[in-house]
């Protein structure tokens, strides 16, 4: 099991089907709400039942990791973004 140091995601580098998994961090999703006459962007767990939910706001994660490679076949190169790296689960 690997742990992504950018997002905390845990994943197996090889799936049960034997196919390699290339981790890519998910974006951060916050919510734009109207609260007491003002528009705010808040974390999803901070939305109140009295808020008017306007839209999700998708933000690229700083230092995101994307293990997918540039190019194809013999031209494939290094991962798209190393982010903060990954380590084996202790």
Binding site for Zn ion (CB under 5 A): 4, 6-7, 9, 25, 65
The residue (of 52 and 87) whose beta carbon lies closer to Zn ion is 87
Measured distance CA(87)–CA(5) in Å, rounded: 7
- Rounded to the nearest whole angstrom, what is the least distance from the CB of residue 11 to Zn ion in the complex? 8
Under DSSP, is residue 46 helix (H, G, I), strand (E, B) or coil? helix
- Rounded to the nearest whole angstrom, what is the least distance from the CB of residue 58 to Zn ion in the complex? 15
Q: Report DSSP letters for 57-80, one per residue.
A: EEEPPTT--EEEESSSGGG--SEE
**Distance of alpha carbon 70 from the chain centroid:** 19
The residue (of 6 and 33) whose beta carbon lies closer to Zn ion is 6
The residue (of 7 and 31) whose beta carbon lies closer to Zn ion is 7
């Amino acid at each position: 099991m690997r742990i992504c140091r950018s997002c905390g995601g845990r994943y197996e580098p090889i799936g049960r089907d034997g196919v390699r998994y290339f981790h890519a961090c998910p974006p951060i999703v916050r919510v734009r709400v109207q609260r007491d006459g003002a528009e705010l962007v808040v974390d999803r767990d901070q939305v109140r039942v009295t808020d008017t939910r306007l839209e999700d706001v998708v933000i690229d994660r700083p230092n995101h990791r994307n293990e997918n490679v540039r190019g194809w076949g013999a031209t494939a190169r290094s991962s798209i973004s190393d982010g903060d790296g990954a380590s084996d689960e202790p």
